[in-house]
Structure 1
């Protein structure tokens, strides 16, 4: 599966393109801005782009009005078709946000129910009771997503709804030639719907990728041969930043071993989960880490550990952004142009190394040395063996272990190191040591 060897770049288009927060009904081809960044993305080394909602919506994109029409704030279907062709010309695959659990109150079928009530042929597309009323005084009650009644929950057990959504996916593939979908709130989705989606997309495009947004629980329940190829690894997201903030690398080492380690009880060995340091829903890495010197180290871990790494636009140069109690606007800014710096250059190097490494993309995981401030783990495949080292301390550290023997090549600094049972690790450093 192509995703297993990819590095993703995530963009929230409504924010990235500087569109109004609320749909103003004015068509402006802002989505074409992505084409101004395609050379930069190609140079950075990412080979897949994850775009959050782009379809016609009431406000933030997750409140869809029309699944077949690009949001007018971003442009037209023709504009987005040009963007997709440009990205593919740069060898960048395209994954869209599939928001199938709910729609906005402006969704065309829900508007029909508002107007015709019992007489609407679409009343069974939603979870509706005409014995109650909504907080919007619609004259009927309906289920919203997790208490958010601006988001109307779809009835995915209604075959007509499923057929409609699958037909929209077919339209996206035929019109834009997309390569995959990120399923919003996949933990809420009907399992039979996900099975049907997997079968349907595989018949249309055999290498079509399905990646679920999952915050908790057993990822095996939906990441399997019948449903999704991958899902978001929130456990390791949390461990990634809090290990540095608490100066306790045992936390991330425990999570990685629990998920991918060599023991029989390790739960996700062989799976490729989507890993990230931040995204459109959480405070950015540069704002959540208490020590700025740890930012490159976190990316050293991210690109070295098992999974499918995903960078969030702007964080590759250390952009800050804090999640607010009532909105996420600060997390989803508009930049006039990329602002690459030394951190960007370092991440570019890590991406290049990873994409040329079978061990880092597909290899096994084994903890070698774990200390509060230091971590060494091994990634190993049939083709190669690599040690990933991190020293989060401001002092050098000497690691001792029987695995630290032989001559290795540090792929980051491009230097050779001879180990005789010990290894000197500089302060605030990451090394990828290839045997």
Structure 2
């Protein structure tokens, strides 16, 4: 089997404008070299077992990063192109792949093509680059023409993907980032707003440039298989928002049936609608409340992360959440989700963090057991408060058991009667088989990982 790096990856998600404390508005002329702060995170990322970074947005922009001013410049609030090239080089030396945010559905109002339309109106060669340009209308900025804005946010102007020059320009941008920085993939912002033929062209173009280049789309609602289905040459993966919802609400409601139903629906070998696909799993990101703020019982961070790493999917950790950073949206303000973090100080303050140590352990277990990335899923035990399942692949097995109860719970897990012996994957303590099952005790808000006894 020809495995690709992204099939077995564990991602770390960095929102650089927030985590470096950069100004939320890009109004200064000078370049500030904050990539030195971002590079300090790379050894920590490798140490907790992450093998890839999703970082972005990085394009030069006006405010939050998604209102692009220049696609071929790194945002001056973070540094310059040479700073980012060094960042990628260091990451690669540590065995970490780099995936960047691709914001190709819209631009900001300061992008050169929009500025040209403002200046030359009907005479602009770029008047067809955007959707809905109407020189007989107006907009909230009083430009004297109207245009289609992303979700009615008029600082974001929707590009016209049917315009051949727009497509070629954006594909050239991707070429530039691969050739200049040697990036390993792109996360497509608002992939559900992009044209499918454009994504097909992108897949062909990037694969010619770099055979194992990874394309992942942000898709919140709808049928994920439209983007990565069999026989299609679109994206390799999309965000699994359906599982994200179940991971926190299944704990808040003491209802593991919700999570198990989601997994059956998505990945069951006999009818799962996404079986064989590798979706991008997460418990929080730069757009949703931090998982530590979503959980009613903060101790549930332990089983939540166990499920993130052991259920089917490509797991991703959002910066700081590995030690339980909190943050909730305040109306339209995403700032609380994207705080500045002094890494050295944070690691010192959280050196005894139970959840940080568990994420570190899960990173090691994920690397040691390829079945977690590639294996078949099988449900073994399911109640409202306890849940156990196995992942198997080519002679590798891992069983995960989780408990969302306020007290420890005895769990009996059926296993094949094949004479194999089992052990706790973390402590290496043997777990005897009695009458075709394993008898374990899972602590309150805890989990147990089981594998075959070494040498069996």
State the TM bucket, normalised to the shorter chain. Answer: over 0.9
**1:222 aligns to what?**
227
**2:441 aligns to what?**
425
1:399 is the counterpart of 2:411: yes
Q: CA-to-partner distance for each residue in 1:330-373, whole Å, 9 max, x for gaps?
A: 11011111534332111111111111212111111121111011
Alignment check: 8 A CA contact 1:404 1:423 kept: no
**1:344 aligns to what?**
356
Alignment check: 8 A CA contact 1:398 1:422 kept: no
Whole-angstrom CA distance in 2 between matches of 1:425 and 1:395:
10
Whole-angstrom CA distance in 2 between matches of 1:95 and 1:430:
31
SS, match of residue 367 in structure 1: strand
1:327 is the counterpart of 2:333: yes
| Match for residue 413 of structure 1 among 416, 420, 427 | 427
Whole-angstrom CA distance in 1 between matches of 2:389 and 2:425:
15
Moved over 4 A (4+): none
Q: CA-to-partner distance for each residue in 1:194-224, whole Å, 9 max, x for gaps?
A: 0000000000000000000010111110114
Query: How many residue pairs are counted as aligned between the two chains?
Result: 434
| Match for residue 255 of structure 1 among 251, 262, 279 | 262
| Match for residue 279 of structure 1 among 282, 285, 302 | 285
**2:17 aligns to what?**
14
Whole-angstrom CA distance in 2 between matches of 1:404 and 1:375:
18
Alignment check: 8 A CA contact 1:404 1:419 kept: no
Show structure 1 runs of 5+ residues with no match.
none
Q: CA-to-partner distance for each residue in 1:131-154, whole Å, 9 max, x for gaps?
A: 211111111110011111110000
Q: CA deviation at 1:381?
A: 1.4
Q: TM-score, normalised by structure 2?
A: 0.93
Q: CA deviation at 1:31?
A: 2.0
Alignment check: 8 A CA contact 1:24 1:73 kept: no
Alignment check: 8 A CA contact 2:381 2:387 kept: yes
SS, match of residue 49 in structure 1: strand
**1:121 aligns to what?**
125
| Match for residue 65 of structure 1 among 69, 84, 108 | 69
Whole-angstrom CA distance in 1 between matches of 2:385 and 2:376:
23
SS, match of residue 311 in structure 1: strand
Q: What does 1:21-420 align with in structure 2 at a 5 Å threshold?
A: 21-25=24-28, 26-127=30-131, 128-224=133-229, 225-263=232-270, 265-338=271-344, 339-340=346-347, 341-400=353-412, 402-403=414-415, 407-420=421-434
Whole-angstrom CA distance in 1 between matches of 2:413 and 2:173:
55
SS, match of residue 389 in structure 2: strand
